[in-house]
């Protein structure tokens, strides 16, 4: 059986670790109890967090014990950014976001069976700590020289914005988390993104100084696109994991649009396909690029991982139905709305001539062009061919009372919307 560390390396999920040989031995002797933290600085996790969730899942599937931490305390502070202070959210907002993130994290790990994961909130041990406790019991173990040398801190100190004591103290809070989990759950490994390296080491040093213990950290690399553009960048910002911030349809389309240069590495990172399966899909990219088998597999697997099989089935059905390979009438309103969200649109009401809707949506440049499209049999409403230039959009044509999908030819789409 492949060692889990070798598997993670093959998948491109390891950037660096404190002592890889010692970590390898610990994982071999196992089980190792490990954790990763997620701060509620937004109402949803995003694509960057997905990398960490995948690592947690790989380690749990290899028999190691997972602890997932949602930072109800650290979320009140916020990890220092590369530039500029964070806006501090209210305690009520952070508490609400903490619950949302707990629900998201819970989808990725097994909390039952013989090796159940544990979900914790660092507010549980931080809220009762007094300022004197913080300074006497923890602060005395930190040296300013070491803290000032952290990459993000040093960069902020040399910027016009500087850094507040609040954000400067974040690395201590993260160190406290590792120490508490070491004491409470026997955690000896922390994982995170490579940009968190300094914060992760904070806990290693604190455990060594307070407990005399030896623990490990391991980071994942920054995921980039082959063309140099930023991974996870969309018109709406991040690739959010919450369906109310990015619909499963839009989420699926993001992965489906992966380039041939990126898709194989993304299959390794974000799916649990075997080496043999990924190698076969890599060959398909080279031999049959037009079929986009790898992209469809990636999109389906990641959407199922994040949103579940039912959501993936609905998205695939919507994609097929838009182009006449399925029944639009069978799509629920939310899926249909998401599927047509980025299409050109025309505002209509029952009785609007189809010809007017074609022109208003931009599917045709003029009424004359619309008449030609209809006469040639190339205009469709909800995948039904328009039978004459006098046709109108009836109330029955408005799916869910709102949408009529317009199509010219095989691939050019728009939507008529009645509000």
Q: Residues comprising the binding site for ATP?
A: 233
CA separation for the pair 98, 104 (Å, rounded): 10
CB 324 within 8 A of CB 383: yes
CA separation for the pair 171, 146 (Å, rounded): 11
Cα separations in angstroms, 28 against 53, 246, 324, 392? 21, 39, 53, 70
Annotated binding site for L-tyrosine: 35, 170, 174
CB 414 within 8 A of CB 363: yes
CB 416 within 8 A of CB 403: yes
* Number of Cα atoms under 13 Å in the Cβ half of residue 289: 8
Annotated binding site: 35, 170, 174, 233
DSSP β-bridge partners for residue 228: none
Tell how strand 216-220 and strand 189-193 pair up: parallel
Which ranges of 288-353 does DSSP label H, i.e. alpha helix? 293-307, 309-322, 333-339
CA angle 164, 165, 169 (to 5 degrees): 120
Long-range contacts of 272-278 (CB under 8 A, 24+ apart): 272/57, 272/58, 272/61, 272/301, 272/305, 273/297, 273/301, 275/10
């Amino acid at each position: 059986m492949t060692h889990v560390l070798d598997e993670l390396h093959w998948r491109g999920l390891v950037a660096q670790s404190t002592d890889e040989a010692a970590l390898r031995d610990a994982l071999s002797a196992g089980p190792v109890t490990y954790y990763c933290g997620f701060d509620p600085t937004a109402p949803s996790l995003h694509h960057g967090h997905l990398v960490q969730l995948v690592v947690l899942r790989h380690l749990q599937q290899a028999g190691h014990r997972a602890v997932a931490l949602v930072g109800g305390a650290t979320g009140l502070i916020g990890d220092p950014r590369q530039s500029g202070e964070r806006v501090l959210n209210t305690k009520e907002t952070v508490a609400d976001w903490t619950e949302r993130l707990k629900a998201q994290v819970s989808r990725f790990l097994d909390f039952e069976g013989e090796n159940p994961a544990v979900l914790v909130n660092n507010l549980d041990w931080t809220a009762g700590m007094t300022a004197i406790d913080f300074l006497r019991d923890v602060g005395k173990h930190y040296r300013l020289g070491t803290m000032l040398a952290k990459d993000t801190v040093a960069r902020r100190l040399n910027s016009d914005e500087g850094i507040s004591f609040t954000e400067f103290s974040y690395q201590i809070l993260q160190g406290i988390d590792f120490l508490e989990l070491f004491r409470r759950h026997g955690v000896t490994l922390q994982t995170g993104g490579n940009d968190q390296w300094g914060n992760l080491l904070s806990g290693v040093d604190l455990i060594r100084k307070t407990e005399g213990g030896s623990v490990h950290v391991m980071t994942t690399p920054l995921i980039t696109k082959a063309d140099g553009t930023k991974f996870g960048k969309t018109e709406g910002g991040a690739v959010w994991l919450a369906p109310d911030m990015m619909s499963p349809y839009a989420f699926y389309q993001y992965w489906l649009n992966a380039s041939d240069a990126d898709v194989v590495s993304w299959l390794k990172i974000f799916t649990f396909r075997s080496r043999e399966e990924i190698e076969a899909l890599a060959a398909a990219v080279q031999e049959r690029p037009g079929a986009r088998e790898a992209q469809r597999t990636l999109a389906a697997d990641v959407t199922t991982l994040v949103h579940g099989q039912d959501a993936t089935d609905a998205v695939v059905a919507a994609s097929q139905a838009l182009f006449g390979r399925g029944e639009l009438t069978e799509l629920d309103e939310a899926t249909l709305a998401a599927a047509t969200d980025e299409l050109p649109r025309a505002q209509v009401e029952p009785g609007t001539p189809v010809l007017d809707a074609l022109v208003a949506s931009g599917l045709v440049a003029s009424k004359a062009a619309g008449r030609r499209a209809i006469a040639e049999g190339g205009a469709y409403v909800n995948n039904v061919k328009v039978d004459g230039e006098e046709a109108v959009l009836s109330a029955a044509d408005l799916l869910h009372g709102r949408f009529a999908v317009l199509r010219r030819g095989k691939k050019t789409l728009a939507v008529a919307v009645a509000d």
